[in-house]
Chain A
Amino acid sequence: MRELRVQPIKNGTVIDHIPSGMALKVLKILGISDNVASTVTVAMHVASSKMKWKDIVKVEDRELNPREVDKICLIAPSATVNVVRNYNVAEKRRVSLPEKAVGILKCGNPNCITNQREPVETVFLVSSKAPLVLKCRYCDRIIEDVASCIL
C-alpha cells in the first residue's frame, strides 16, 4: 500500500487538484497566515495521474463558504473542494467559474473609480474562461495577475 504523504484530517476542508505552484496563493485567498488555531497542511508538487503535478491544501476545523470557493476558482479552476466531517468526505464541491466576480478582486487600474472612496463593490466580468480573462465592469481594464488583485 502506498504511504500517504499527508495524513487524513478529522474535520475541515481539503482543497485538491490545485495547479502546481498555486498552493501559497490559495492560502493567501483564504487569509491564512500565522493567525489560525488549527493545523494547515500544504503539499506542493505532488504526483497526480490527472494533472501530472498538483498542490493540496488541508485546512482543519474550517469549512469554506461559497465566496471563498469562488475566489479559489479564479486562480485554481481545476481545484476540488472536499468538506470532511469525522474523517469522511461529507460534501464534494467542484469549483466553477462564476459569470462575474463581485467584491473579490481589486482593480489594478489606480485611476479606476472603484479605487476611490465610493460605495461600490468591484465587479469583474469573465470574458474568457480558458485562458481566464477578467475585465473590470467599470473601467474595462483586464486583470494581468489575478492572484495579486485578490482582496
Chain B
Amino acid sequence: MSSFAGADVISIADFSKEEVMKILRIAKEMVPMATGKKTDRSLEGKILSALFFEPSTRTRLSFESAMKRLGGGVLGFAQPEGTSIMKGETLADTIRMVDAYSDVIVIRHPQEGAARLAADFASRPVINAGDGAGQHPTQTLLDLYTIWEGLGKLDGASIALVGDLKYGRTVHSLTTALSMFKTNLSFIAPPSLQMPRELVEQVKEKGLPLRMTHDIRDVIKEVDVLYVTRIQKERFPDPQEYAKVAGTYKIDIPLLRDAKKSLMIMHPLPRVNEIAPEVDATPYARYFQQAFNGVSVRMALLSLILGGSR
C-alpha cells in the first residue's frame, strides 16, 4: 500500500508494520471524537455504503458510528433480504451500482474472496468487513490497537491465542499481524484445533519464539495477553468430547490466580462459556473495551482513506 488515500483494505497482509503503527496512532487521537467528547466533521458530505450480506452487530454498528462521528453519512443494508441480490444479481453488478452512490464501500459477505472481487469492480475504495472464513482486517487492527494501547507496546509483548485456532479467522489474521512485530507467541488449543501449519511456519520464518501447548496453565504466569476464542460445538462429532475440551478452555478466577497483575484478557466476541462472567469485573477483562476500540480504529482508517483532517 503506497498511500492510504483511496486505498482498498482487503487483508491485514496488505499493510506494512509502519502503516499499521500509523493507523494505531491516529486511532488513539480519535478517542475523544469516538466517545463524543469532541466533534470532528472532516468527512462531512462523504457517504459510506455498508453492504452486509451476512449479519453482524459490532462490525456494522461500529463502522456506522465511526462514519457518523466524522460527519459522514451511511447507507446500505444489514441483510440481503429485499435487495436485488435475492433476485439473482451478481456481486459484481451490485458493486458497480453502489460504486456510483457512495465514496467508500464496506462489505461483509459469506464467500471468501468477495471483498477482493468487489475491489476489482469498484472505482471507490473497498473495506473488507469479513469475507466468509477469510479476512477481517479491521478486527485485526482493533485487536492490535487494544494490545498496543493496553501494554504500551507490541514489540516484546507475550501473547497467547487460546481456543479454536484451526478454523478461527480472527486468530489467523492476528497471527499474521503479530508476526510483523517482535512478539512472543503461544498457541493454546487441543491438538485437533491447533493453528494451521502455514501460519506456524510463518511465525518460525520470522525467527519469533513460539510455544504450542494444549494447557493454558503452561503459560498463564508469563503472558501479557490471553486472546480467547470460542470453541464451536459443531467442530466435534461427539458432544461428550466437545464438553470435555470446552471445559478445559474456560477462563475463570482460580485459573487467573497465577497470572501477571497486568494480564489482559481479550475476546473478539460473542463469547459463550469461554470466559466466566465473574471475570468481567476484574481488571483483566478487556473484551468490552476491545469492542469499543473498533470505533476509533475504523475512524482512523476512514479518515486516512477518505482524506479527512489527517
Contacts and interface: CB of A to CB of B under 8 A. Distances in A.
B92 A112 contact: no
Contacts of B91: 113, 116, 118
Interface residues of B, number: 19
Contact of A140 (B110, B117, B134): B134
B111 A113 contact: yes
Nearest to A120: B117
B114 interface: yes
B113 interface: yes
B90 A112 contact: no
Interface string B80-117: 00000000001110000000000000000111111011
A142 B112 CA distance: 13
Interface residues of A, number: 18
Contacts of A25: none
A141 interface: yes
Contacts, number: 54
A28 interface: no
A141 B90 contact: no
A111 to B, nearest CB: 5
B133 A137 contact: no
Contacts of A136: 113
Contact of A113 (B117, B135, B198): B117
B133 A111 contact: yes
B120 interface: yes
Given A139-B134, A140-B11, A113 B114 contact: yes
A122 to B, nearest CB: 10
A118 B117 contact: yes
Contact of A138 (B110, B113, B198): B113
Interface string A105-122: 001010111101111100
Contacts of B110: 111
A111 B111 contact: yes
B112 A138 contact: yes
B150 interface: no
Nearest to A113: B113
B72 interface: no
A92 to B, nearest CB: 37
B90 A138 contact: no
B6 interface: no
A120 B92 CA distance: 9
B11 to A, nearest CB: 7
B132 interface: yes
Given A111-B132, A112-B111, A113-B111, A138 B92 contact: no
Contacts of B109: 113
Nearest to B172: A140
A113 B111 CA distance: 6
Nearest to B109: A113
